Amino acid sequence: MRLTGPIGIGIRALLGAGITAVTLLASAYVVTVFAAAVLIFVAMQLGPLEFTETGFLWALAIGAIPVLPCFAIVISHAIRLERVELLEGTVLASEIDADGGRTLEASVTRLATQFDIARPEVRVRPDVMPLAYTTARPTDPVLAVRRRGSPVIVVSTGLVQTLSSDELEAVLAHECAHLANDDLQLTSWLLVPLFAAEFLYETDETDEGDENDHWRVDPLGWALTSLSLVGFGVFSRGRELAADRAAVEATGDPGALASALERLENRRRRRRRPSTDLRHAQSTNAINVMPTLGEGGGSGGLRSTHPPLEVRLRALRSVAAA
């Protein structure tokens, strides 16, 4: 089953890519201006220098020569570190209890055949928080236009313990649908600013204090993270609904996915903060089947990465009624 998204998804993708590009260009410009200021300062220290607009433009051009390649290298490094973080501590599904591992692998194998995609590897994360997301390996290309590399579906022990077998298969179908829709490739592009923001402005999401205190003294980090979430969310909210529809087509059971989403949302509301090993909570929240953070992840705001639960359930009910 090969999927093609509606025109609305394409428009959302273009808007998200545009916001992401503006965010990256603005970040690169800020870094380049800083380098130009350093060059001007050094030149003024070496002798008398008349500050002119032409001189500033020359300093910008000269400063961009070493800055832009370094900027690209830092972003690439941040993405690979994020992939390492997302796979850290995971084990192959076959290495957990025999029955559970075989069930996961059998479900993914069957779903991959239905979606006409290469069978992704299934890994299990020992975490009480229910997690299900798809990511690339650290050795895969940072950005790719076509399908390359070997994607990995990660589920947590908390997810396996929380959901029934039908609900678990519905969630796995949702993740396979992302792969069939080539969401992983586009997501890698759109998450670049968020990866960079977390790499440069990492905060402790498990701190019991007000996490907004960090952004009050770091407006640049807040702005970069917010723009990153807006750009990603414009696309991701649509792709989540598309993956829900495709999962129902594959399983033929909209009720299983609906009950899984409701169960995961109830579990999230009872657990106020993510577990301590999720240091990069924003990016994990962005790619998980359901938001893992509190406000903003699925509340419908501009920074929301997922549609509100009510919207997803209403869409599933419409599919069931069709």
Active site residues: 175
- List Cα–Cα distances, 241 to 9, 19, 179, 260, in angstroms: 10, 21, 14, 15
Non-local CB neighbours of 186 within 8 Å, separated by 6+ positions:
13, 17, 235
> How many residues make up the chain in this entry?
322
The full DSSP string for 96-110 is: S-HHHHHHHHHHHHH
DSSP code at position 134: E
Judging by beta carbons within 10 Å of its beta carbon (0-12, 13-18, 19+), is residue 48 exposed, middle or buried?
Answer: exposed
- Residue listed under structure tokens 């905060």: 203
C-alpha span between 295 and 303 (Å, rounded): 10
* Among candidate residues 229, 254, 272, 250, the one with its CA nearest the CA of residue 313: 254
H or E stretch including 87?
helix 53-87
